Each structure stands twice: as C-alpha cells, then as structure tokens.
A and B are shown apart, each in its own frame.
Chain A
Amino acid sequence: MTRRTASAAALVAAAALILTGCGDSDSGGSGGSGGGLSVGSAYMPQPVSDSMAAGFLVIANDGGAGDHLASVTSDVAGEVTIHTTVGQSMEQVKDLDIPAHGKLVLESGGDHLMFEKLKRKPKEGDTVSLELRFTKSDPIKVEMPVKSATYQPSTATKSASQSSSQSSSRSSSHSAARAAAFPATSPMPALSALSTTSHH
C-alpha cells in the first residue's frame, strides 16, 4: 500500500498543504465567478441504482469573508440536497459553512451532496453538470466526473499529498487535519478533477 511509502516529500507536501489550509498562502487563486471561491476534487461515485447518487467536492475560500453553500442543481437530478453525517446517519441541512480563508470539504463519510430523482443513471466516465449557489458569492458551474463505485480520491492517486491524506483518514475521524491535508484546489474545477483521473 502507498501508505507505507510515505516519504519525506509527502511530509513536506503535507506541511505545505496544512499551511494552505490555515490560509497563510493563496490556495490556487479564485475560480468561477464567485468572490474568492474555487471548486476542486469533484467526483460522483457511480451509483448502485437509478434512484440516488452522492457527490463530493471541495470549495476553497481564499477571501476574507465567510460564505455558505446554499443550494445545488444538476442536469441529472430532479433534486440535489446537501447532507451532513452525524454519527451513523445522514441528515439534510439547509446550507454548509464555507469559512473565510478556509474550505468546505465534501467527502465520503462526511458532508456530501445527495442527488435524487435521477433522470438517468450516471455511469463511470460520464460527466454530470452542477450549479452551486451561495449565500453571497455568484453561482459556480461544476463539471463533476463520474468515477467507479469504489473510487476513493486518497487511494486512487499516488501523489505524495494524497498518501498523507489517506494515513489521516485511517483514524476514521473527520478532523480538521484531514481537511487540511486535502489537495489544494485549482481554479478550474474540471481540470482539477481530470488531473485526478489521469493517475487512476
């Protein structure tokens, strides 16, 4: 497993990422048309059935003001809701906080988007279009690639930063450290997602 091979490079990368997480440096510039918001690491695991699917992404905020992810729409779903994981259950929430100089991480086992009333069953290799709307910032359009049902960003890529993210995920807590180790997002959501694909 890649976990074993955590190298000095991984440590350095992790340290750099944590810094980014703390907002000490810019995290890749602002993307979309939102004020300081950028979206990356978007993916949807291929769903089991045509009834529902989950979606994950990271919204980075390098601006000085907090914002909220308020609503989401998609071309594949009649309804997209925002969910948070509380213990062993998942609850729908009205919105999720995107802290100033921070990020909102939607990841497996934690906060996620739930796609319901699917118009078609998304298949691995497809791309799903989303529009994210915020309390303050302008909406951002995201092209979300559909990955395999067992895709996990931390194991599917071999990059140093990712393996550090995996070792922290092993503790099975959704801690700030885990969020900080998430790869920095790029201004182009689709590009960021694609770069993840190429390692797969």
Chain B
Amino acid sequence: MRKKTYAVAALFAAAALTLSACGSGDSGSDNAVAEVSTETGADKAATVLDKPFEKPDLVLTDTHGKKYDLREATAGKPTLIYFGYTNCPDVCPLTMNNIAVAKKQLAQDKKLSQAEKDSLRIVFVTTDPERDTPAALGKWLKGIDSDVVGLTGSFDTIQAGARTLGISIEAPTKGKDGKVTSMHGTQVIAFSPKTDGGYVLYGEDATVDDYTKDLPALIKGAKP
C-alpha cells in the first residue's frame, strides 16, 4: 500500500515537472512543482502538500453572468476547485458528483456547526469556455448541485490559473469531423480556510467515501 502512495505522489510530481518543462512561454508562472508529503497515511486518497499552492488570482464569470473574483469570494472559506468541462461524459461528472454527494452527507455531521457546513465552496472552472457559456455551465451544474460555483472566461486566463496549481490543460481542438476534444484537470485541490493555501490534492480515483471522510477536516483547514 505504501508503494501506492508514492506512486500517486510521483504522478503529481511528474505532472508538475512536465508543466514547468513545457510551460508555454509564461515566464511569470511561479514554481508549479508540487512538493508532497509521503506521510499521508498509506491508503488515503488525499495527498497533503508540504508547500501549499497559492490560490490562483482568477477573475472569471459565474453561471449568472456575473464577475467572480476567486480570491475575494472564497477568502477564509474552505474551497475545492476542479477544472473540467460539461461535454465530458465520464471523469468530470463523476468527480463533481462525488464531491456533491459527500457535501450532502455533511448534513448529518453533528460535530460541525451549520455555519461551518455552509462555508464550504465548491468551484468548477471550465476548460472549454467556448462551449461552456454561463448558461450551459449553470444547466449542467443544476444536475449536480446548484450550490457549485461554475466559472467560465477566457481560456488563457483559465489555463494560466490552472498552471499555478500544477494542472496542465490545453485549449480544445476541433477535429476534421467537427468534434471538439477538450481536456480536464487531473486533480481536485482543497484550499484551507485558515491560510487560503491549496494544501490537499485528490486524484481522479477519489471516491464519495474519501470525500465524505475528509470534508469535515478540510472545512476546518485540518489535514485529512
């Protein structure tokens, strides 16, 4: 089992390294290399970062068509961020539904106050802004959890924001048959309400149970 943890950590590290190796000319994008703690319990889905990511300075448009400043809107609030797109049948809806179901189960948690439960922010940033208009995002998220904040905007802004979190996404491409191929992010990042730093990563394999178990700690900014 321990080996597995290392494997996951290595994957993240590799992804981050790849990024810094081929970051397309954006010299300003600071160190995206994730330093991960290998003490993260042998069979946990969560990877706790030794050096948390700074919250990206993303100012985008929400599902109501209003300006949404990520740092301002989520300051001091436990926040989960995922990059994906709605024309994605498999991984994106699964990831978002896993989080949404875990969030619903928080209602039964007796140790957290209602205010703590309400403080959780779940943010879905599209990687396919051309197709994912505010309306399209809103419709899709309504099928998952209408409390989720859906953000869209210019692809370059989104790509740069993702990059600071070690997430590499390329712009959607259109094939000869007119079909669009988009990319989704590889991980969910949890930001602490105490520091606003992105300190925990979840890979695609994280399940409802993983999130359900960890959300109470994440809401308090503790290590899961």
Contact = CB atoms under 8 A, between A and B. Distances in A.
Interface string B49-74: 00000000000000000000000000
B4 A1 contact: no
Nearest to A2: B209
A106 to B, nearest CB: 10
A155 B89 contact: no
A1 B94 contact: no
A65 B185 CA distance: 38
A49 B140 contact: yes
A149 B175 CA distance: 29
Interface string A85-111: 101111110000000000000001100
Interface stretch (B21-29, B199-207, B215-223): B199-207
A152 B95 CA distance: 11
Nearest to A155: B207
A89 B204 contact: no
Given A90-B89, A92-B177, 4 more contacts: A48-B86, A149-B101, A150-B97, A172-B7
30 contacts: A1-B209, A45-B93, A45-B97, A47-B143, A48-B97, A48-B140, A48-B143, A48-B144, A49-B139, A54-B89, A85-B91, A88-B169, A89-B182, A90-B90, A92-B177, A109-B90, A109-B91, A112-B89, A115-B89, A149-B94, A149-B97, A150-B98, A150-B101, A155-B207, A167-B4, A169-B205, A170-B45, A170-B205, A171-B7, A171-B8
Interface of B: 1, 4, 7-8, 11, 43, 45, 86-91, 93-94, 96-98, 101, 139-140, 143-144, 168-169, 175, 177, 179, 181-186, 203-205, 207-209
